[in-house]
Amino acid sequence: MTSISEMVINFHMTETCNYRCGYCYATWEGNDSQAELHQSSGDIQSLLRKLADYFLSENPIRKALRYTSVRINFAGGEPVMLGARFVSALLLAKSLGFRTSIITNGHLLSNKMLERICPHLDMLGLSFDTADFLLAQSIGRVDRKSAWLSPSRTIDIVTAYRALNNHGKVKINTVVNAFNWREDMSHVIELIQPDKWKLLRVLPVYSHQLTISSAQYHAYIERHRLYSDVITVEDNQDMWQSYLMINPEGRFYQNSDACQGVAQSPSILDVGVESAIAHVDFNAESFARRYQSNESATTKVQ
């Protein structure tokens, strides 16, 4: 197996979110918000230290993938809703030797929050599906007051991030779905100038809501072919068992078959990393193929 430069662990810190995207799969059956690890700073610290002890040392996954660095990607739900709890987790991860990133809807990235976190983020990831407000409403990418992440606000956030961290990378995640697959985002992408633009075909984890055909997905990709140097394509088959993910309760999880939800491990805090990861179908070869593809698509993002 060809080596990869970086191992990425996606830590979904909370299920709570201010948006209601129709395709969202970041939900876990039986999840209790009071059991989410961020409720206790000690639990978050314990989880991150266990992950550091395992993944930053020699282990079977490192032997298989030969990675040289490990990045914790904070996700949700919406991690910025946790405020100081998220900031503390980010700073601890950085101090333990992890590279760090976030995937956020950007709605709560105030100037104060940007100043607190940007210097400590190796990558800022923004979920940005559409430049059209009506499409955002249809998808569910608005809050209860119908506020959304507009193109102008997205550009402002990216500009602020780059001013605060001149070594940081910018990634845009776009879920191509039944509402936005006809849209042309070229004008906005031209202004944002992301280091990476990931185009994900909506994944039917719990239902076929908002799903699209392969032809519709590839039509979207073709429409934006001028940005192929930064585009990473992730069709449904690319996502099964190819992500290393941890839910808000500190359990590894993997997507099951279409519309079958997710499979979860015991708590990492209870059984340790090695035992917990054995309970989910993480496919190291699929992970490597996805990241090798990413790295060959653009060398600007590590």
Whether the predicted pLDDT of 63 surpasses 70: yes
The DSSP output letter for 149 is -
| Whether the predicted pLDDT of 175 surpasses 80 | yes
Euclidean distance between CA atoms 24 and 14, whole angstroms: 13
The pLDDT value recorded for residue 293 is: 53
> In percent, how much of the chain has pLDDT > 70?
87
Interval 170-178 mean pLDDT: 97
Enter the tokens of residue 198. Answer: 């990931």
Q: What is the pLDDT of residue 254?
A: 83
How far, in Å, CA of 211 to CA of 213, rounded?
7
Which of 17-26, 204-213, 241-250 comes out lowest in average pLDDT?
204-213
Average pLDDT over the chain, rounded to an integer: 89
pLDDT at 145: 95
Q: What is the pLDDT of residues 208-237, one digit of tens each?
A: 779 999 999 999 999 999 999 999 998 866
Q: Which CATH architecture has domain 6-297?
A: Alpha-Beta Barrel (3.20)
Lowest mean pLDDT, pick from 122-136, 181-195, 199-213: 199-213
**Which uninterrupted H or E stretch holds 16?**
none
pLDDT greater at residue 208 or residue 96:
96
Give yes or no for residue 291 having a pLDDT over 70.
no
Total residue count of the chain as it appears in this document: 302
Q: Per-residue confidence at 243, pLDDT binned at 50, 70, 90? A: confident
Overall average pLDDT of the 197-211 stretch: 81
pLDDT the model gives residue 105: 97
Sheet with 231-234, side-by-side order of all strands: 231-234, 196-201, 169-176, 123-127, 99-104, 69-75, 6-12, 244-246, 251-255, 262-267
> What does the pLDDT average to over 71-100?
97
Maximum C-alpha span of the chain: 50
Boundaries of every domain in the chain: 6-297
Q: Are 136 and 188 in contact (CB under 8 A)?
A: no
pLDDT for 299 equals 36
CB 114 within 8 A of CB 140: no
